[in-house]
Amino acid sequence: MAATNPSFMNGVPELLVLRLLRNGEMYGYQLVQAIRDETGEVVSLGEGVVYPVLHALEKSGAITSRRRAVGGRSRIYYALAPAGVSRLSELTSLWSRITGAVQQVLVGEGDAEPV
């Protein structure tokens, strides 16, 4: 299993969760597996810490939750809310600018625009 990488993770779990929920509702375990699979295990969360991210996103209105019984078990499923769509758009744009700016520095072009 890949080690977790907390120092570069600020804001990344929110971005990944919102992006993955755009494909459809999921519960916490599914989300963690999806993050691991989709990122080729490069991004690896301490699995339990995805829930504070989900609770905070729900509190901000970006996602909604509902309890569903599946296979004899009751689970809390999360889905993207309209406010989450615009939040995802903002975060995606910010992330693209940050990675673009860092890339510029790494290849030595300098003069990155302030983010």
Partner 1 sequence: MQSLFDGLSEQLLRGGVGRRHARRYVAELRDHLDDLIAEEREAGGGAGGLEARALARLGSAEALAGAMIARRELKAWSASAPVAAWLVAPSLALAGGAALAMAGVVAASTWIGSADGVVMFSNAVLPVGLGWALVALAVRQRSAPVWPIAGLVVLAAAGAALQVEVSLPSAAAHGEIDLAPTLASLPGLAGFAERVALNLALTLAPYIGLSLRRAAQTGAGRAA
Contact set for partner 1, span 11-50 (CB under 8 A): 27-29, 32, 46-49
Between CA 8 and CA 2 the distance in angstroms is 15
If one asks whether residue 77 binds partner 1 (CB under 8 A), the answer comes out as no
Q: Which contacts (CB < 8 Å, 24+ apart) does range 81-87 have?
A: 84/18, 84/21, 84/57, 85/22, 87/14, 87/18, 87/60, 87/62
If one asks whether residue 56 binds partner 1 (CB under 8 A), the answer comes out as yes
If one asks whether residue 72 binds partner 1 (CB under 8 A), the answer comes out as no
Between CA 34 and CA 64 the distance in angstroms is 19
Nearer to partner 1, 77 or 95 (CB): 77
Q: Judged by CB under 8 A, which stretch of 17-25, 71-79, 88-96, 106-114 contacts partner 1? A: 71-79
If one asks whether residue 1 binds partner 1 (CB under 8 A), the answer comes out as yes
**Sheet-wide strand order for 73-80:** 26-27, 73-80, 63-70
The binding site for partner 1 (CB under 8 A) comprises 1, 27-29, 32, 46-49, 51-52, 55-56, 59-60, 73, 75-76
